[in-house]
Amino acid sequence: MESNTSRRTFIKAAAGATAATAAVAAASTMGGQQAQAQEAATSAPKLNDMFAGRGNARQVTDDIWWVGAADKRLALFENAYPLEQGMTYNSYLVMDDKVALIDTVDRAVVGQYLENLNAVLDGRSVDYLVVDHMEPDHSSAIDLMISKFPNIQIVTSAKGAALIGQFFETDISDRLVTVAEGDTLELGAHTLSFVEAPMVHWPEVLMAYDAASGVLFSADAFGSFNSLDGNIFADQVDYDNDWMPEARRFYTNIVGKYGPQVQAALEKASTLDIKFICSTHGLVWRKDTDKILDKYTHWATYEPEDKAVVIYYGSIYGGTENAANILATKLSEEGISNVKVYDVAKTHKSWLLAEAFRASHLVFCSCTYNMGIFTPMKELLNYLVDHNMQNRHVSFVENGSWQPVAAGLMRNIVAQMSDMTLVGSDITLMSTVSDQNVEELGTLAKQIAASVNGDDSSSDLLTMADGATNVSAGDVMHTNADTAAQAAAPSAAASSAAESASAGTSGGASQWKCKICGYVYEGDSLPADFVCPICGASADEFEKIA
């Protein structure tokens, strides 16, 4: 009971609720006493009466409204990703015979949310709250909505329902509508059809499609960092310059690891006649939806977007930085215009990851530090591994004043990624760039430029063991989990891995598929205590598929 009080204290503070309204929550929480709750609500002021603001909702279609809110003050999304222009949390109202609310918003912006919600509702109530997934940036106001609309029904997946119980102590059993793939929710002229999209970005994710309007409520998919500046539609802004980099950074950092699962969701989306994409973050797409769908196809399949070179350097006193800049200049002289140079100690790794998803060729230049890789570079490389980076061309430059070892150690980490092709030979600096180094950088620039232009004729396949030593130009690095057969047919191996999301499986005769996220386990038998490495589901959630 104490924790109930404390949770409601937050809701009360966030919404400016009165004591009478808190009593609604209490009644609703304590055994579904809805009649009592309704009675209390009748005598209570509206929850937003304490806000002086006016609604700033936007119309998406005749019957569908954006009622979300922006948080321009937020410095770190998920307490991890730096934001320059804040974050938007999108929520949508479908105004039909029945009123459906798609998601809520983060607790920090509940005030704006209530202003927008009440402006569109204009006295009507909400019949359904569709919870596409339970991450708190979209679900924080569930309890508040139950308080505000005592008869509201909560529509979500079975796994989403279980998660609601982990975040809220309110008993929703008498208002829960559990839906799954293919189920529908009739609202009148509009009918929501539910599409499961596990791991895009939590395991319980549901998208909802309305055939009448062609709107896809896509959950986190197609979202972006950044906040709205008046315009609500992607075609109203300079999306390529002002939004695409943040959309790429959002995707790669938030769901970049789950490419196969995103591919599965895209496959389902391809069967729908989509006219509007309404994500939980960022702008609404109503034109040129192929543009963002094409980007997602690249990102989900780990295909580079651009023939481009990204040079990452980690430098203490400038020697390694000097080499990176010389290489960039020589690449320019070779006619490569799409070159970017990043100081890994300065630029946040979320941007560095996004650039790795964009570019075809990556060069890692690191000084030796504590007989290892310079710390920010090591963090970047491990971050790339964590996000399933694969299928890139890579080169290495190391520096050291008495015993340079960074290049081999960097290659050991890169060897954990699939289908990485080595271009050129490692270059070693001894403190500063020598005349010989300048020549070597010139040679490497020519080799990278040739590769960018499609000349990979010297490529050979190499299956790595525990290290990436003794590799040479054109070699392709494979993960330790790759089998000899995969090494012989890398494209088929990559395709298979993408389809099954099963990198690292045991290669046995039978397969079991996780019903939650699509991960495939291969082996002679599925251990009873097996836990899905992607979504944490138990062995009970697996079904035998082969």
Please state, in angstroms and rounded to a whole number, the distance separating the CA atoms of residues 500 and 521: 9
Q: Which residue's beta carbon is nearest to the bound ligand FEO?
A: 135
Amino acid letter at 327? L
Rounded distance between C-alpha atoms, residue 323 and residue 530, angstroms: 48
Q: Of 350-409, which residues contact ligand FEO (CB under 6 A)?
A: none
Shortest distance (Å) from residue 6 CB to ligand FEO: 24
Least gap, CB of 28 to ligand FEO (angstroms): 25
Between CA 393 and CA 454 the distance in angstroms is 11
Q: How far is the CB of 353 from ligand FEO (least distance, A)?
A: 17
Interface characters, 137-166, with ligand FEO (x: CB under 6 A): xx----------------------------
Q: Residues 105-144 vs ligand FEO: string with x where CB under 6 A?
A: ----------------------------x-x-xx------
Helix then strand count (H, E) for the chain reads 17, 28
- Least separation in angstroms between residue 80's CB and ligand FEO is 13
Of 150 and 260, CB closest to ligand FEO = 260
For residues 400-424, b (16+ Cβ closer than 10 Å) or e, as one string? beeebbbbbbbbbbbbbbbbbbbbb
Give whichever of 47 and 534 is closer to ligand FEO, judged by the CB atom. 534
SS3 labels along 32-56: CCHHHHHHHHHHCCCHHHHCCCCCC
Residues in 249-278 at the binding interface with ligand FEO, rule: CB under 6 A: none
Identity of the residue, 202 or 296, whose beta carbon is nearer to ligand FEO in the bound complex:
202
CB of 282 to ligand FEO, least distance (A): 10
Q: Which of 528, 500, 539, 15 has its CA nearest to residue 259?
A: 500
Please choose, from the candidates 384, 342, 421, the residue with its C-alpha nearest in 3D space to the C-alpha of residue 256: 384
The residue type found at 133 is: H
Q: How far is the CB of 172 from ligand FEO (least distance, A)?
A: 20
Kindly state the smallest distance separating residue 203's Cβ from ligand FEO, in Å: 11
The single-letter code of the amino acid at 401 is S
Ranges within 65-104 binding ligand FEO (CB under 6 A): none
Q: Between 106 and 419, name the residue whose CB sits nearer to ligand FEO.
A: 106
| In the complex, least distance from residue 329 CB atom to ligand FEO, rounded to whole angstroms | 41
Minimum CB distance to ligand FEO smaller for 220 or for 475: 220
Closer by beta carbon to ligand FEO, 226 or else 511: 226
State the DSSP H helix or E strand holding residue 194, giving kind and residue range, or none if neither.
Answer: strand 191-196
Q: Which amino acid is at 230?
A: G
Question: At CB < 8 A and 24+ separation, what contacts does 69-75 make?
Answer: 69/105, 69/106, 69/109, 69/110, 69/111, 69/112, 69/113, 69/116, 70/109, 70/112, 70/227, 70/228, 71/106, 71/108, 71/109, 71/227, 72/227, 73/108, 74/108
Does residue 280 interact with ligand FEO by CB under 6 A?
yes
Q: Considering only CA atoms, which of 206, 225, 117 is closest in space to residue 163?
A: 206
309 near 453, Cβ under 8 Å?
A: no
Backbone angles phi, psi at 400, to 5 degrees: -175, 145
Least Å distance, CB 201 to ligand FEO, is: 4
Angle at 197 between CA 77 and CA 272, to 5 degrees: 115
100 contacts 130 by C-beta, under 8 angstroms: yes
Q: For residues 202 and 251, which CB has a smaller minimum distance to ligand FEO in the complex?
A: 202
Overall residue count recorded for the chain in this entry: 546
Among 190, 201, 248, 249, binds ligand FEO (CB under 6 A): 201
CB 99 within 8 A of CB 121: yes
Nearer to ligand FEO, 207 or 414 (CB): 207
For the bound state, the minimum distance from the C-beta of residue 202 to ligand FEO, rounded and expressed in Å, comes to 6
- The nearer residue to ligand FEO, 82 or 318, going by C-beta atoms, is 82
Q: Where are the alpha helices (DSSP H) in 122-180?
A: 136-139, 142-148, 158-167
65-54-86 Cα angle (round to 5) = 70
- Compare residues 218 and 388 and give the one whose CB is closer to ligand FEO: 218
| Pick 133 or 148: Cβ nearer ligand FEO | 133
Shortest Cβ distance from residue 281 to ligand FEO (Å)? 6
Rule CB under 6 A: choose which of 71, 127, 220, 419 binds ligand FEO. Answer: 220
Query: In the 8-state DSSP scheme, what is residue 525?
Result: S
Pick between residue 209 and residue 222 the one whose CB is nearest to ligand FEO: 222
Pairing of strands 76-77, 81-82: antiparallel
Size of the site for ligand FEO (CB under 6 A): 9
Cβ 90 to ligand FEO, closest distance in Å?
9
Sites of contact with ligand FEO (CB under 6 A): 133, 135, 137-138, 201-202, 220, 280-281
